Structure 1
Amino acid sequence: MRYKRPVSVCNETASDLAGEIVAALSAASIVFKQENEYSQRLLKKAEQIYEITAKEDRIHRAITYTTIDACGGEARKFYGSSGYKDELVWAATWLFFATGNHTFLDYATTNFAAAADDETTTYKGIFYWNNKLAANAVLFTRLRFFRDLGFPYENGLALSTNMIDQLMCSYLSKQNFNRTPGGLILLSPGTGGPLQFAATASFLSKLYNDYLTLFRRSSWNCTNDGFSLEMLQSFSTSQINYILGDNPRKMSYMVGFGDHYPTHVHHRTASIPWDGQYHSCAEGDRWLHSQDQNPSVLLGAMVAGPDQFDDFSDEREKTWFTEPSIAGNAGLVAALIAHHDPPRSSASNGPNLGLDIMGIFEKVHLNS
Structure 2
Amino acid sequence: MALLRLLLAVLLLHNAAASPHHGHGPAKHDYRDALTKSILFFEGQRSGKLPPSQRVSWRRDSGLADGHSIKVDLSGGYYDAGDNVKFGFPLAFSATMLAWSVVEFGGMMEGELQHARDAVRWGSDYLLKATARPDTVYVQVGDAPKDHACWERPEDMDTPRTVYKVDPATPGSDVAAETAAALAAASLVFRKSDPAYASRLVARAKRVFEFADKHRGTYSTKLSAYVCPYYCSYSGYQDELLWGAAWLHRATKNPTYLSYIKLNGQILGADEQDNTFGWDNKHAGARILISKSFLVQKVGALQEYKGHADSFICSMVPGTPTDQTQYTKGGLLFKLSDSNMQYVTSSSFLLLTYAKYLAFSKKTVSCAGATVTPQRLRAIARRQVRHTALPLPCLP
TM-score normalised by structure 2 residue count: 0.55
Residues matched between the structures, number: 233
Matched, 1:228 2:373: yes
Matched, 1:65 2:219: yes
| Aligned match of 2:191 | 33
Unpaired segments ≥5 residues, structure 1: 57-61, 245-251, 256-296, 300-368
Residue number among 199, 209, 214 corresponding to 1:55 in the alignment = 214
| Aligned match of 1:177 | 325
Distance 2:220 2:189 in 1: 30
User: 1:220/1:48 Cα in 2 relative to 1: closer, same or farther (>3 Å)?
Assistant: closer
| Aligned match of 1:346 | none
AA in 2 matched with 1:102? P
1:296-307 matches, within 5 Å, as 297-298=394-395
Residue number among 353, 359, 364 corresponding to 1:207 in the alignment = 353
| Aligned match of 2:30 | none
1:87-236 matches, within 5 Å, as 87-116=240-269, 124-150=274-300, 153=301, 157-173=302-318, 175-187=323-335, 189-190=336-337, 192-217=338-363, 219-223=364-368, 225-236=370-381
Q: Cα RMSD over matched residues? A: 2.1
User: 1:79/1:253 Cα in 2 relative to 1: closer, same or farther (>3 Å)?
Assistant: farther
AA in 2 matched with 1:21? T
Offset at residue 29 of structure 1 (A): 1.6
Distance 1:40 1:210 in 2: 27
Offset at residue 118 of structure 1 (A): 9.2
User: 1:214/1:68 Cα in 2 relative to 1: closer, same or farther (>3 Å)?
Assistant: same
| Aligned match of 1:365 | none
Superposed structure 1 runs of 4+ greater than 4 Å apart: none
Offset at residue 117 of structure 1 (A): 7.0
Contact 1:66 1:76 in 2 (8 A): yes
Mark the structure with the bigger radius of gyration: 1
| Aligned match of 2:176 | 18
Contact 2:270 2:283 in 1 (8 A): no
User: 1:13/1:212 Cα in 2 relative to 1: closer, same or farther (>3 Å)?
Assistant: same
Offset at residue 225 of structure 1 (A): 2.8
**Could you give the per-residue CA deviations for residues 26-50 of structure 1, whole angstroms, max 9, x where no partner exists?**
1112211232222222122222222
AA in 2 matched with 1:234? A
User: 1:206/1:84 Cα in 2 relative to 1: closer, same or farther (>3 Å)?
Assistant: same
| Aligned match of 1:74 | 226
Offset at residue 159 of structure 1 (A): 2.6
Distance 1:203 1:97 in 2: 18
User: 1:200/1:99 Cα in 2 relative to 1: closer, same or farther (>3 Å)?
Assistant: same
Distance 1:207 1:49 in 2: 27
| Aligned match of 2:125 | none
Contact 2:180 2:244 in 1 (8 A): yes
**Could you give the per-residue CA deviations for residues 213-234 of structure 1, whole angstroms, max 9, x where no partner exists?**
22223x4321253333332221
1:95 match: secondary structure: helix
AA in 2 matched with 1:171? M
**Could you give the per-residue CA deviations for residues 67-96 of structure 1, whole angstroms, max 9, x where no partner exists?**
113xx5311211111311111111112112
**Could you give the per-residue CA deviations for residues 273-294 of structure 1, whole angstroms, max 9, x where no partner exists?**
xxxxxxxxxxxxxxxxxxxxxx
2:372 match: secondary structure: strand
Contact 2:270 2:287 in 1 (8 A): no
